[in-house]
Amino acid sequence: MQKLRDLGYVEGNNISFEIQMRRSPNSDWSEPVDQVIKLKVDIIVADGSGPATAAMKAKTIPIVMTSSTDPVGIGLVASLAQPGGNVTGLSSVSGELGGKLLDILKEIMPRLSRVVIPGPMPGNPTQDLFMKETEAPARAFKVELIQVGVRGPQDYDQVFQTAAKRKAQALVVRIPPTIAPAQRQQFVELAAKHRLPAIYQATNWVDTGGLLSYGADRNYQFQRTAIYVDKILKGAKPAELPVEQPMQFEFVINLKAAKKIGLAIPPNVVLRADRVIR
């Protein structure tokens, strides 16, 4: 919202916001999307592939996505250069990111050989793509990937039971960062209890007490989203606004969390971090 203010928008004066969320992490986006359609909003801002896909039923309302894994593959846009419909905004990366997350873990834990990946249930398009595109870097690192579907906090214990049974040494967490803070806290505490290093894709996990995060800078993504909103409100058509890929990434290390599980982070890795929690 700060970026919109910088662009001259003042809430209650020349812009207003209607925030709609799902009732629970397991519910779909139909109800909140139906609500914003009834409100006859000028633009829908969708944070992720799920809400963006659901919002496509609003065929005449422009949709700006803050991030989406493979928006072409899941049918949100015709191409990144020419979206062609009522959806545009920012994409995210998949396979390249998976390889980078494994690379960071491998630097910290050279003997790493098994990693559990808790995330959306198999069959979720973005999760399936992530797993598929992370297979090649995993083979290069000689790391076995073990997928565990997570529908909500009720499945957290299963993540760690699987990790213990399969003798996994770390986690690459694909649970969406938009879940409730209490749920993030619960997962982070379980990771610490089981002394399992975990790397996440959003900084709010590390701010909650998680060990590591690496991913697109969400603050920057939101700033770019505001620019799309501004352009559309001034008459630009989503079909003609190319989808941007992430240009800024953020690497955060929580040394307090590392100390808690007895993990030494090599100094050269610490020096590369954009932010270190001590």
- Given this model, what pLDDT does residue 25 score? 59
The residue behind tokens 């797993």 is 131
Q: Is the pLDDT of residue 27 over 80?
A: no
What's the mean per-residue pLDDT of the chain?
93
The residue-averaged pLDDT of 257-273 equals 97
Type of residue at 49? S
- Given this model, what pLDDT does residue 26 score? 60
The residue behind tokens 């690459």 is 172
- Given this model, what pLDDT does residue 187 score? 97
- Given this model, what pLDDT does residue 22 score? 75
The residue-averaged pLDDT of 69-76 equals 88
Three-state SS for the chain is CHHHHHCCCCECCCECCCCCCCCCCCCCCHHHHHHHHHCCCCCEEEECHHHHHHHCCCCCCCEEEEECECCCCCCCCCCCCCCCCCEEEECECCHHHHHHHHHHHHHHCCCCCEEEEEECCCCCHHHHHHHHHHHHHHHHHCCEEEEEECCCHHHHHHHHHHHHHCCCCEEECCCCCCCCHHHHHHHHHHHHHCCCCEEECCHHHHHCCCCEEEEECHHHHHHHHHHHHHHHHCCCCHHHCCCECCCCEEEEEEHHHHHHCCCCCCHHHHHHCCEEEC
Q: Which tens digits make up the pLDDT trace of 109-139?
A: 999 999 999 999 998 888 898 999 999 999 9
Q: Is the pLDDT of residue 24 over 70?
A: no
Q: Is the pLDDT of residue 23 over 70?
A: no
CATH of 2-92+217-248, one of 3.40.50.300, 1.20.1260.10, 3.40.50.2300, 3.40.50.410: 3.40.50.2300
Q: Which tens digits make up the pLDDT trace of 76-113?
A: 999 999 999 999 999 987 657 999 999 999 999 999 99
Question: Lowest-pLDDT range, 17-21, 82-86, 168-172, 241-245?
Answer: 17-21
The residue-averaged pLDDT of 201-208 equals 95
Domain ranges of the chain: 2-92+217-248, 95-216+250-277
The residue behind tokens 């909140």 is 32
Name the region of 36 (left: φ>0; alpha: ψ -120 to 50; beta: rest). Answer: alpha
Instruction: Count CB-CB contacts under 10 A for residue 30.
Output: 11
Tokens, residue 87: 């959806």
Q: 2-92+217-248 and 95-216+250-277 share one CATH topology? A: yes
CATH top-level class of 95-216+250-277: alpha beta
- Given this model, what pLDDT does residue 95 score? 55
The residue-averaged pLDDT of 167-190 equals 93
Instruction: Count CB-CB contacts under 10 A for residue 54.
Output: 20
What is the pTM (predicted TM-score) of this model?
0.87
